[in-house]
Structure 1
């Protein structure tokens, strides 16, 4: 059986899936969703879920933690930020923290827009990788839609964050960047910034999404799963290295 035949095995030949079916199947029968993307590149329902859950997290943080506490926790985790604020008077420091808290709050509300921007960049990178690097014939729209669906498991982190905050989470230890223990970095709070960032990539939810992306790109781009895995894991390793280096340099 050829690579293309393997990649497209199970492609739906009957009526297409509804938007709700596509979301559900992403978790229980992802091949059905990914084959259906070849029929319909609609991604509005995953985005709607992102809006609802991300704003739910924002409201939970606002009521249960407070944005100035969020900022203080981030400062405590960053020696360079501590050094930058050490020379300020108490009044200047309070004003700086207040300004940062406002920025964090409104950035959190704007998170869905940032997701769209990042998703567009990621989809463009995947489209270029598969079309020019692997000789596939896919479209930017298919890759963008695929990226949105493959990110659905990450909404579980948002739901866990909301649950944790409302059932007794500790505001003093809340980490906006790593709120729940789904990754190794969460369990090494005293690790260096670079190592902690690298460990954060070993996340059970993130790896789930990575596996979905390998399966999805093999179907949508019609390449073997081996080639899809090489491309996706290659990007994953590169981004891990860049993120760890940036965290070490700026934190």
Structure 2
């Protein structure tokens, strides 16, 4: 019998967890949280925490860095964007900078909604893979709820970003796409775009999330940990390849 089934049956008689307990247990006892998803697919608290921290990051970047500086730093990190901006007239350059600044700012405010959209797409992909490839029996709602809880460690990146900017962060070197040093790409700022994108996937928070996804999908899909790991790592490798190719082509 799979690990997920053993956990689910072993805890079926236990009382349900509160939303706060589920968030806490995601960090200290994830199997309890993921088993409880089989009882209740509510995901409002992880989303609320995402909204709060996302708005906190946006407010901090606005006050400590400024969105024009954010755009300038992103352009400096992309030779193709530098060449494109250099070919513009002063009026065109100013208009392009204004448009990019507004775009980055509004995107940051809308980030929680983008998280919902991405989570829905990711959950759909996992649901389809487990149900149609492995023959599992899970629902989209369970996978979506699981994805939201597994993403909780990534909120630590937001908290670290806020703390770093408030206590000595360098606005001129701030990279909105890679704000803190939890991954290898952060320590090689002069690496090529493709290599930097690849190194960015070797992230301690990201790996933590992958481990949670393996544990969680094995429980909600009722498959072995080995099969769950094959699916999660397989998707991770595919996204890594696509991201590296895109970075090399467009940066």
TM superposition score normalised by structure 1: 0.97
Trace 1:11-160 onto structure 2 (pairs within 5 A): 11-160=11-160
Structure 2 residue 170 is matched with structure 1 residue 175: no
The residue number in structure 2 matching 1:208 is 208
The residue number in structure 2 matching 1:250 is 250
Deviations 1:137-187 (A, max 9, x none): 000000000000000000000000000011110000000000000000000
Q: CA deviation at 1:238?
A: 0.2
| Closer/same/farther in 2, CA of residues 96 and 18 from structure 1, 3 Å limit | same
Tell me the distance in 1 between the aligned counterparts of 2:196 and 2:10: 40
| Closer/same/farther in 2, CA of residues 132 and 80 from structure 1, 3 Å limit | same
Tell me the distance in 2 between the aligned counterparts of 1:5 and 1:17: 19
Contact 1:85 1:93 in 2 (8 A): yes
Tell me the distance in 1 between the aligned counterparts of 2:172 and 2:244: 25
Q: CA deviation at 1:94?
A: 2.1
Tell me the distance in 2 between the aligned counterparts of 1:187 and 1:194: 15
Report the 3-state secondary structure (helix = DSSP H, G, I; strand = E; otherwise coil) of the residue aligned with 2:178: coil
Deviations 1:92-137 (A, max 9, x none): 2122112101100000000000000000000000000000111100
TM superposition score normalised by structure 2: 0.97
Runs ≥4 in structure 1, deviation > 2 angstroms?
1-12, 89-92
Report the 3-state secondary structure (helix = DSSP H, G, I; strand = E; otherwise coil) of the residue aligned with 1:59: helix
Number of equivalences: 251
Q: Which runs of 5+ in 1 are unaligned?
A: none
Contact 1:7 1:218 in 2 (8 A): no
Q: Which has the higher contact order (CA 8 A, sep 6+)?
A: 2
Q: CA deviation at 1:88?
A: 1.3
Q: CA deviation at 1:57?
A: 0.2
Contact 2:57 2:158 in 1 (8 A): yes
Deviations 1:49-92 (A, max 9, x none): 00000010000000000000000000000000001111112332
Q: CA deviation at 1:5?
A: 4.0
Tell me the distance in 1 between the aligned counterparts of 2:16 and 2:4: 21
| Closer/same/farther in 2, CA of residues 4 and 100 from structure 1, 3 Å limit | closer
Contact 1:7 1:222 in 2 (8 A): no
| Closer/same/farther in 2, CA of residues 3 and 63 from structure 1, 3 Å limit | closer
Q: Which runs of 5+ in 2 are unaligned?
A: none
Please give the root-mean-square deviation of Cα atoms over the aligned residues, in Å: 1.2
